[in-house]
Structure 1
Amino acid sequence: MHDLTRPDGTLPQDLHVSRRTAAGLFFAGYALAAVSAEASPITTPADGLLIEEVLIPNGVTGQGGPGPLPAYVARPNKAGRHPAVIVVNEIFGVHDYIKDICRRLAGLGYVAVAPQFFYRSGVNLPALTDRQQIMAVVSQASPDQVDGDVRAASVWLKGRPFANPARIGITGFCWGGQVVWRAAMVDPDIRAGVAWYGQLKDVVDRAGELKAPVLGLYAGKDQGIPLSDVERMRAALKAVGRKGSDIRVYPGASHGFHADYRASYDQAAATDGWSRMLAHFRAHGVG
């Protein structure tokens, strides 16, 4: 975690780091722009797990650029090849909530990998409190660039002696939810995906491109994703015959209902969604 760089507090420009230290962009704490003082986040211990910060080759050399893709990895501390899940963050980057998701999955026998998709900016996103500044960074990550990073992560997993190359899934939250839909369209190594309240307007017309089944988990009271978009995607999946894909809506929940560090957390919806995610992975060869 970065220390305060000024007596009156850290400013965004103070949070830019050198490309050489990109792998250290793992914030110690929860995203400052969203954490609720009243929240009681789930904390999963690392007992029996191996935790690593790695650099994943993604075709970027680092000569005048950001270098390879940093990622947080949690995996079982035992021999064998384990199923793997790529974990895609919200707009806030990789912070304690995303790392805890990785540890929860690792405790269930998965290799969980959370890439730092916004590392090219050199900004420690979870430390920012201004959403406009956050979105300015997020907007720099193009769909093609992000899809390429997902592909780099799946290729990296296939080459690890501890990961089963035939059992790779992906899950993502908010911004990461849409990444899941796209990954299931373009990454041939993804066996199944689970999208938590990811935007649909840019992917609904591409439902026919899905190569892997996706479970979408959505909120009935989401102010940013209208139920009309959810119904359009549900109809599109049916029209193209994607029987393995499905959508579940939680009528009383709001956007971010799984994020236990936020005021939007809905324990019942989060628990049910987690169970459905695991069942979806098992049903489609990721488990």
Structure 2
Amino acid sequence: MIIQQEQIDLATAKGPMRTYIYRPAAEGSYATVIFYSEIFQQTAPIARSAAMLAGHGFVVLVPEVFHELNPIGTVLAYDDQGKDKGNRDKFTKPLVDHDADTQAMIDFVQAAPYCSGRVGAMGVCIGGHLAFRAALNPRIGAAACLYATDLHSNTLPAAPSDQTLARAGDVKGELLMIWGRQDPHVPDEDRALINRHLREANCLFSWHEFNGQHAFMRDEGERYDPELALNCYRLSVDLFRRAL
């Protein structure tokens, strides 16, 4: 589908949240996917991923995940300085503030005439975690979580009982969990821990492990695996078409 792009600053308790919108140009109402970025916010690879999803018939919202910690429009570079800043932001922002951001986007979707009201979530890296976190909200019908970091470690700012994996039983929608076996951020034993939590919480989920490194979806850099990325896009699109 031909798509169009725009942006909006959504009001949150912590200030305006720049949100980029990718949606079909054809008139109609479409299911929405909230696409959570890496720690670097909306880089060119993230924008291309959002456009890819929108072209399959979805409204895609890309929020600036650390909007209250950076000037509007901030994009961090894929270098050591950008990584260090992004990681500081990740360990500074409480998870409850991400919850509020998700609710602000859901509220927007309910009022937008081009949205059907059905909402899913997708993300890569910390965005994979945030997509899972979004699925704690009962309005999220499905979430595609790609090499989600920090689920197993319980190290993001939250009370122990409010850590994301501890609340897996609150997920009502369907989860798609995708991992790279060569990802040093979530090694074998930690993936096994996450899998066990999902089973014990009786989550509805599918689980895929591929021979890929961390950030294999990012179409910049030496870790990019184009064929694997296309397979994962297809898995995600199939999930959203079925569940939303």
Q: Same fold (TM over 0.5)?
A: yes
1:28 corresponds to: none
2:94 corresponds to: 142
Indicate if the aligned counterparts of 1:204 and 1:232 stay in contact, CA closer than 8 A: no
For 2:139, which of 170, 178, 189 is the aligned residue? 189
Rg comparison, structure with higher value: 1
Please give the alpha-carbon distance, in whole angstroms, between the structure 2 residues aligned to 1:238 and 1:143: 23
1:238 corresponds to: 199
Secondary structure (helix, strand or coil) at the match of 2:219 reads coil
2:161 corresponds to: none
Secondary structure (helix, strand or coil) at the match of 2:135 reads helix
2:120 is matched by which residue type in structure 1? G
1:184 is matched by which residue type in structure 2? A
Q: CA deviation at 1:70?
A: 0.8
Please give the alpha-carbon distance, in whole angstroms, between the structure 1 residues aligned to 2:222 and 2:78: 18
TM-score, scaled to structure 1: 0.75
Please give the alpha-carbon distance, in whole angstroms, between the structure 1 residues aligned to 2:19 and 2:174: 25
* Shift in alpha-carbon separation, 1:58–1:207, aligned structure 2, 3 A: same
For 1:223, which of 180, 184, 187 is the aligned residue? 184
Q: CA deviation at 1:127?
A: 4.0
* Greater CA drift, 113-122 or 231-240: 231-240
RMSD, aligned CA: 1.7
Residues 68-217 of structure 1 mapped to structure 2, 5 A cutoff: 68-123=16-71, 124-127=74-77, 129=79, 130=81, 131-165=83-117, 167-185=118-136, 187-199=137-149, 200-201=151-152, 202=154, 203-217=164-178
Indicate if the aligned counterparts of 1:197 and 1:219 stay in contact, CA closer than 8 A: yes
* Shift in alpha-carbon separation, 1:139–1:234, aligned structure 2, 3 A: closer
Deviations 1:174-201 (A, max 9, x none): 011111111111x221110000100221
Whether 2:214 is the aligned partner of 1:255: answer yes
Q: CA deviation at 1:220?
A: 0.4
Please give the alpha-carbon distance, in whole angstroms, between the structure 1 residues aligned to 2:25 and 2:226: 29
Indicate if the aligned counterparts of 1:197 and 1:218 stay in contact, CA closer than 8 A: yes
Q: Which runs of 5+ in 2 are unaligned?
A: 155-163
For 1:55, which of 9, 12, 17 is the aligned residue? 9
Please give the alpha-carbon distance, in whole angstroms, between the structure 1 residues aligned to 2:88 and 2:229: 29
Deviations 1:3-58 (A, max 9, x none): xxxxxxxxxxxxxxxxxxxxxxxxxxxxxxxxxxxxxxxxxxxx832210111122
Q: CA deviation at 1:116?
A: 0.9
Please give the alpha-carbon distance, in whole angstroms, between the structure 1 residues aligned to 2:90 and 2:68: 10
Q: Which runs of 5+ in 1 are unaligned?
A: 1-46, 61-66
1:249 is matched by which residue type in structure 2? E
Identity %: 24
* Shift in alpha-carbon separation, 1:160–1:178, aligned structure 2, 3 A: same
Please give the alpha-carbon distance, in whole angstroms, between the structure 1 residues aligned to 2:77 and 2:69: 14
Q: CA deviation at 1:173?
A: 0.5
Secondary structure (helix, strand or coil) at the match of 2:27 reads coil
Q: CA deviation at 1:128?
A: 7.2
Indicate if the aligned counterparts of 1:216 and 1:247 stay in contact, CA closer than 8 A: yes
Indicate if the aligned counterparts of 1:117 and 1:141 stay in contact, CA closer than 8 A: no
Please give the alpha-carbon distance, in whole angstroms, between the structure 2 residues aligned to 1:84 and 1:134: 26
2:31 is matched by which residue type in structure 1? P
Q: CA deviation at 1:266?
A: 1.4
Q: Which runs of 4+ in 1 moved over 4 A?
A: none
Residues 247-286 of structure 1 mapped to structure 2, 5 A cutoff: 247-250=207-210, 252-284=211-243, 286=244
* Shift in alpha-carbon separation, 1:136–1:125, aligned structure 2, 3 A: farther
Indicate if the aligned counterparts of 2:128 and 2:147 stay in contact, CA closer than 8 A: yes
1:35 corresponds to: none
Please give the alpha-carbon distance, in whole angstroms, between the structure 2 residues aligned to 1:119 and 1:191: 25
